[in-house]
């Protein structure tokens, strides 16, 4: 676990701090989070600083951490029962969460932090925990490997196990 996440977990009951950190998600209010994020390199517009601002702001908004899964598996959990059933079909059309995940996977480093916020805030509304440790790492090292892991976690979760190899 990173120093930032250790700090967040220890301070999750500090309502004033969490209010300041939620401001990191809003560009015009981000300066309120800087005194708390400065020690962790969370000041500025560089990619890693934006990742730290995003993770801190999301944690402050939804302090329900877990150590299981990634955003792909979280998206699968957010699927409706109908969409899960559709995912099990080979030629199914993408549902709402599948389209949202495709949108995330199509993101570049400049876009991903802004786009992942919606998924985590939806998880908050559904009461699902988020793996912030892996989220921070995935956002920092955003690239094809991370995109592939998220896609695999989502679409493999919906796949039926096939006993026979088709000829």
156 neighbors 22 (Cβ within 8 angstroms) = no
User: Within 13-111, where are the H helices?
Assistant: 15-22, 34-37, 47-61, 71-78, 81-87, 96-105
**Element of type H or E holding 136:** helix 132-140
CA 148 to chain centre: 15
pTM above 0.95, yes or no: no
Give, for all 167 residues of the chain, the pLDDT tens digit.
Answer: 899 999 999 999 999 999 999 999 999 999 999 999 999 999 988 999 999 999 999 999 999 999 999 999 999 999 998 888 887 777 778 889 999 999 999 999 999 999 999 999 999 999 999 999 999 999 999 999 999 999 999 988 755 444 343 44
In the chain the domains, ranked by start, together with CATH numbers, are 1-63 (no CATH), 64-158 (1.10.520.40)
Query: Please, which residues have CB within 8 angstroms of residue 18's CB and are 6 or more apart in sequence?
Result: 11, 12, 60, 63
Quote the pLDDT of residue 159: 54
């Amino acid at each position: 676990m990173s120093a930032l996440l250790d700090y967040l977990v220890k301070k999750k009951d500090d309502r004033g701090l969490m209010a300041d950190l939620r401001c990191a998600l809003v560009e015009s209010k981000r300066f309120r989070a800087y005194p708390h994020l400065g020690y962790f390199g969370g000041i500025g517009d560089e990619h890693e600083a934006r990742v730290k601002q995003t993770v801190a702001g999301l944690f402050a908004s939804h302090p329900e951490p877990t150590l299981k899964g990634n955003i792909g598996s979280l998206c699968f959990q957010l699927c409706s029962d109908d969409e899960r059933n559709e995912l099990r079909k080979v030629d199914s059309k993408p549902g709402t969460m599948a389209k949202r995940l495709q949108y995330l996977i199509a993101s570049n480093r400049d876009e991903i932090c802004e786009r992942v916020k919606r998924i985590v805030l939806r998880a908050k509304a559904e009461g699902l925990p988020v793996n912030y440790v892996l989220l921070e790492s995935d956002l920092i090292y955003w690239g094809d490997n991370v995109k592939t892991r998220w896609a695999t976690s989502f679409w493999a979760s919906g796949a039926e196990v096939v006993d026979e190899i088709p000829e």
